[in-house]
Amino acid sequence: MYNLRKAGIMVPRFGKARSWFDLTHTIWRAGRQVLGRLGPQPGDLLGFTWGHPDICHVETLVGPWGTGPSVRAVGGNTGGGGALQREGEGVYENWRLKRLVAAAANVVDDPRYK
């Protein structure tokens, strides 16, 4: 997130991940843009369910949403205690299918964020 902030992209800083996808901040849900909201933009959060009932994984959109079937996002695991614990952990740029995005949220830096 630090590098995205440094690049001038507004990204979340406060609050808990489960509240990033509330009614106030969600702009895309169940394959559709939320009425009256702009579509996903670089810096917005993408939530994935991976078979769970609720969002369990979050990545940051880094490329344009566009009209294709996939988007570029940054995400990954950082391991416990600040150290990588398993092979394959780390932060990576990924191509994600849009149909797997459960929700997208626009959460900007705001010190009053709950």
Domain positions in the chain:
2-105
Residue 23 has pLDDT above 80, yes or no: yes
pLDDT at res. 12: 57
Residue 16 has pLDDT above 80, yes or no: no
| 100 vs 43: CA distance, rounded Å | 18
pLDDT at res. 56: 82
- Mean pLDDT within 20-28: 88
45-48 and 32-33 beta bridge pairing: unpaired
| 72 vs 64: CA distance, rounded Å | 8
Q: What's the pLDDT tens digit per position in 82-96?
A: 555 555 566 788 899
Residue for token pair 């949403």: 65
pLDDT at res. 100: 94
- Mean pLDDT within 33-57: 89
Considering the entire predicted model, what is its pTM?
0.73
pLDDT at res. 86: 54
pLDDT at res. 114: 46
Alpha helices, DSSP H, located in the chain: 2-6
- 100: tokens are 């797997």
